[in-house]
Amino acid sequence: MTDLKCRENQLTVLDVSNNTALTELDCSYNQLTSLDVSKNTVLQDIVCVGNQLMALDVSNNTALYTLWCWNNQLTALDLSNNPDLFYLYCANNQLMKLDVSNNAALVRLYCSSNQLTALDVSKNTALTELDCLDNQLTALDLSNNTALTWPGYVFQHIYISSFDLTADSVYPYSINLSSLNASLDISKVHSLDVTSGDTHVNNYMAGETVYFASLPAQIKYDYDTQNPNETTYMYMHVTVTISSDLAPAETPPSEPQTPDTPTTPDEPDEPEEPSTPATPSTP
C-alpha cells in the first residue's frame, strides 16, 4: 500500500509502522494526539490537518514534498532533514520558532496564527506565497524573496503589557520599539501612528522611544520588508496594543517639545482568508 486516506473519522490511534511503502498519508480531521511516521521513510505527502497533535517528528521523512499540519497544537516543528519540502501549511498551531533555512525548495509557506516572534526566509528564494498573519512579528526581511506574488499584505497584531513609566505628568508612559524585537531596524519604520485612549494628543516619538499619555494605547506602523515588489510585500503592517499592567519606572529623558498631531495612515484592506486547499496530489 502506497496511499492511505482515512480522514474524517474518529480515530484516536493510527499505526502505520508496518506500511513502509507509503508515499501519501491523509489522516485529517480525526482525534489523533500523536502520529508516528518514523518508519515511513519514503513518504512524500503528509496531510494531518485538524487533529490534536502536540508533536510531529518528520526527521526520517527525507523525501517529504508536502506537509499540511495546520489546526493542531504543535509547539515545535523540525524541518532540517526535509530539503525537498515544497509546500508547508502549519498555520493555527502554537509554534514559537520556525526554521526553514534548510528548505530552499519551499514555494508556499503558510504559518499564520502561531506565536512566532521572528521569521527568517532569506534562504527561501523560491517562495511565491507567504502567509504569516497574526504572529508576534515586529520586523520582517523579504529582500531575497523576489518571486513572492501572493497574498500581498502582511498584518501583525501584537498584544503586550510591558512598558516603561516616566515621571512626566504629560507623557507618563513610554516604550522602546527596539525592545519589541532585536531584529527591528528603526530606520525601516514608516507611517507611525500612536493612539492612547481615543486621541492622538500628547503622543510622540523621540529616537526609538514612543511616549503616550494614557492606557490602553495602540501603536501602528508599516515596516519596510525591502521586497522589490511594490504592489505586494513591500510593507508589513504592525499593530501593537499595550495593556494597563504596570512595569517598573525608569528615569525619563528631558521633555521634548510637543509635536503636531500625527495623521493616521491609510491601511489597505485586509486580504480574504485563503480557502482550504484540496488534498495535495502525488508530486
What are the pLDDT digits (tens) for 126-138?
999 999 988 988 8
Q: State residue 180 phi and psi, 5-degree precision.
A: -70, -35
Looking at residue 188, its pLDDT comes to 85
Q: Collapsing DSSP states into helix, strand and coil, what is residue 179?
A: helix
What are the pLDDT digits (tens) for 26-76?
999 999 999 999 999 999 999 999 999 999 999 999 999 999 999 999 999
For the chain, percent of residues with pLDDT exceeding 70: 76
Higher pLDDT, residue 256 or 91 = 91
| Lowest model confidence (mean pLDDT) among 60-74, 146-160, 251-265 | 251-265
Taking 60 as the threshold, does the pLDDT of residue 169 lie above it?
yes
Taking 70 as the threshold, does the pLDDT of residue 266 lie above it?
no
Q: What is the mean pLDDT of the chain?
A: 80
CATH architecture for residues 1-135: Alpha-Beta Horseshoe (3.80)
Looking at residue 200, its pLDDT comes to 55
pLDDT band at residue 176 using 50, 70 and 90 as cut-offs:
confident
Residue 212 makes CB contacts below 8 A (sequence gap 6+) with: 171, 173, 174, 194, 196, 202, 203
What are the pLDDT digits (tens) for 223-250?
888 887 765 666 788 888 877 654 433 3
Taking 90 as the threshold, does the pLDDT of residue 14 lie above it?
yes
Looking at residue 218, its pLDDT comes to 81
pLDDT band at residue 263 using 50, 70 and 90 as cut-offs:
very low
Where does CATH 3.80.10.10 sit in the chain? 1-135
Taking 70 as the threshold, does the pLDDT of residue 153 lie above it?
no
| Nearest-angstrom CA–CA distance, 148 and 65 | 20
Averaged pLDDT for residues 197-213: 71
131-164 core/surface letters (b: 16 or more CB in 10 A; e: else): bbbbbbbbbbbbeebeebeebebbbbebebeebb
| Nearest-angstrom CA–CA distance, 194 and 217 | 7
For the chain, percent of residues with pLDDT exceeding 90: 46
Taking 50 as the threshold, does the pLDDT of residue 272 lie above it?
no
Taking 80 as the threshold, does the pLDDT of residue 256 lie above it?
no
Hey, what's the cell of 158? 501584537
pLDDT band at residue 166 using 50, 70 and 90 as cut-offs:
low
Contact criterion met (CB below 8 Å) for 44 and 283: yes
Most confident of 40-54, 151-165, 185-199, 244-258: 40-54
Looking at residue 42, its pLDDT comes to 97
Most confident of 115-124, 200-209, 244-253, 264-273: 115-124
Hey, what's the cell of 249? 519606572
